[in-house]
Amino acid sequence: MISSLIWEDIQESMSEEGKQHIPVMLKEVLDYLSPQPGHVIVDGTLGLGGHARAILEKIGPQGRLIAMDRDAQSLTIAQERLKDYQSQSTLIHGDFRYIPKFLYELNIKEVDGILLDLGISSFQLDNPLRGFSLRQEGPLDMRLDQGSYISAFDLINSLSEHELSRIIKEFGEERWHHRIAHALVKERTRQPLQSTSELCNVVMKAMPYERGHQRIHPATRTFQALRIAVNRELESLEEGLTQCRLLLKKGGRMAVISFHSLEDKIVKQQFRQWAAQGEWKLVVKKPLRPGGAEVVQNPRARSARLRIIERI
């Protein structure tokens, strides 16, 4: 159950997001996923329902959308936004790595299309209580699923210096991972780190001076690394792709939008392996990128990469 206080916050967010929520690369998703009347489509990362709504309009009353999201608050907003399509959609609180289980429970054996949009939504980034933003004061949370046990606070204040260094290096591709991990462990011996601003300050102090003048915020990679670790995002992606592969009909397509090189590398390698086996083909050899007009309208789309594969 959602408390009345959280529900009021969600309702306020819904009114704001209703004005500004922009699904990334929507035209390209519709063009290449090509949902048709009567199709059964899976949206494994529902978010606020932008892609889902457009897909529902394409598949019509005879079609069916099965969509899921790990974030219960996002799911609540999407349910409200998609209330006119209740008869043709099933929305699930869960991780897309469990798509086969969800479909089995719905007695669905195969689908016509699958969409995975791996980005963090503006709704999540702009809510300081979620701890995703390094530019707003908030708790060290970073959980996509608020029911999960492990938060960024737990990782930062309990892992060894070696483990923290490894996470920041592998998931953040941060050059100065040793220095940052050492600084975090040293700082927490005084008192546990509690907030996003404390984390930012420790990372900034650990950096060589010149890093403060680069294009991205010096703590960006560390925040990314911790978020990925908290939510086991790359593990979920690898398992989810493998599971999704078994569910597509012949002629069915899977479209994946990634937002950083680690995600895109996993998708690229997996798709190429499938294509090499002869039962799949790459619909596009290189990832599609958002056009200039979209980036101007939605700057957070600038790093998006869309890859599509089809079962033949």
**pLDDT at residue 139 greater than cutoff 60:** yes
List C-alpha distances in Å: 195 to 128, 144, 199, 231, 256.
10, 17, 6, 18, 33
User: Which domains occur in the chain, in start order?
Assistant: 4-123+234-311 (3.40.50.150), 148-231 (1.10.150.170)
- Interval 184-202 mean pLDDT: 96
**pLDDT at residue 295 greater than cutoff 60:** yes
Q: What is the pLDDT of residue 124?
A: 87
- Interval 228-233 mean pLDDT: 96
**pLDDT at residue 4 greater than cutoff 80:** no
**pLDDT at residue 8 greater than cutoff 90:** no
Reported as a single tens digit per residue, the pLDDT across 194-223 is: 999 999 999 999 988 655 456 778 899 999
Q: What is the pLDDT of residue 211?
A: 53
Mean confidence (pLDDT) of the chain: 90
**pLDDT at residue 3 greater than cutoff 90:** no
Burial class, 238, CB count within 10 angstroms (exposed 0-12 / middle 13-18 / buried 19+): middle
> Lowest mean pLDDT: which of 20-24, 171-175, 225-229?
20-24
Q: What is the pLDDT of residue 119?
A: 82
**pLDDT at residue 101 greater than cutoff 60:** yes
List C-alpha distances in Å: 232 to 138, 173, 237, 263, 282.
21, 16, 9, 12, 27
Reported as a single tens digit per residue, the pLDDT across 277-293 is: 989 999 999 999 999 99
